Amino acid sequence: MKTYRAFLLLLPVFVLNACASKSEFVVVADDVKKLKTETETVRSQSAASYSDVQQVRDEIAQLKGRFDEMDYKNRQTFGRLGLEDSLLVHKLDNIDTRLLRIEQLLGAGAPKSSVAKPEIGGSTGPENVKASSALTDSALLKDGMQKLAKNSFSEARDSFSLLMQTYPKSDLVDDAQFNIAESYFNEKWYEKAVLEYQVVIARYTKSNKRPAALYKQALAFELLGDQVNARARFRDVVSVYPSSSEAALAKKKLQ
């Protein structure tokens, strides 16, 4: 009887404990459900992030592939231009040699003249060229520039050419060659100007006249109606000499 009474007394305690355990179980179950939901969310976000990262990697790989392709094409183009430059210079050298031989033959067959030699800076002839050969390289350059300013194009070229022949190792040979090209450009003989500028571009690669030669050659191409080569040379000025004054002018041309 006592045992039965004790059981009745303890029964509410058991019931309360059971309710508490059930309530705790429900709380734990809710927590587990929330954790599962959060885990799925994290997995979904991770998958999206991985997809974004992979997309970025793919885009970088594509850009690298394009860059490598552009680099390969540029190397091919510059290699071709270098070969063309060398061929053009070689052809010009051959032409110069042939012209010099023709002039020598004509000079050897010409009758001797008793006419007095003209002053330097006057009209140019064989006698004047001989007198000019006594001048220094800087004097010849100055003489040619003065004739060029007076639009005496042929006479100016004689002075510049004589400088190059007499002082082939002078620091002024690139200036002389550039001004030969300038004389043809100012004379509006643009085809010849293109070739003479090309000599500066290909032969005097370290000359401070090279940016101007590239730009003026582009202008000559433009005046000849060759827009493809003109724009190519304008781009060369911008890419090779971006800080030069010619590059600023070339950018305006490319706009």
Residue 91, domain member (yes or no)? no
The domain in which residue 209 lies consists of 126-254
Name the pLDDT band for 84 (thresholds 50, 70, 90).
low
**CA 121, CA 93: separation in Å to the nearest integer?**
27
Which has the higher per-residue pLDDT, 62 or 212? 212
C-alpha torsion angle, residues 117, 121, 122, 123 (rounded to 10) = 90
Cβ atoms of 36 and 43 within 8 Å: the answer is no
Cβ atoms of 234 and 211 within 8 Å: the answer is no
pLDDT exceeds 70 at position 94:
no
Which whole number is the average pLDDT over 125-141?
71
Residue 103, domain member (yes or no)? no
**CA 243, CA 116: separation in Å to the nearest integer?**
51
Question: In this structure, is the dihedral angle defined by the CA atoms of residues 9, 12, 14 and 16, taken in order, positive or negative?
Answer: negative
Q: What is the pLDDT of residue 150?
A: 97
Residues 72 and 146 in one domain: no
What is the number of structural domains in the chain? 2
Residue showing tokens 């051959």: 94
Q: Among 82, 101, 118, identify where a domain stops.
A: 82
Q: Nearest-CA neighbor of 184 among 200, 168, 173?
A: 200
* pLDDT over 70, % of the chain: 53
pLDDT exceeds 80 at position 127:
no
Q: What is the pLDDT of residue 55?
A: 72
Residue-wise pLDDT for 203-213, tens only, equals 999 999 999 99
Residue-wise pLDDT for 172-210, tens only, equals 999 999 999 999 999 999 999 999 999 999 999 999 999
**What pTM value is reported for the model?**
0.54
> Per this entry, what is the length of the chain?
255
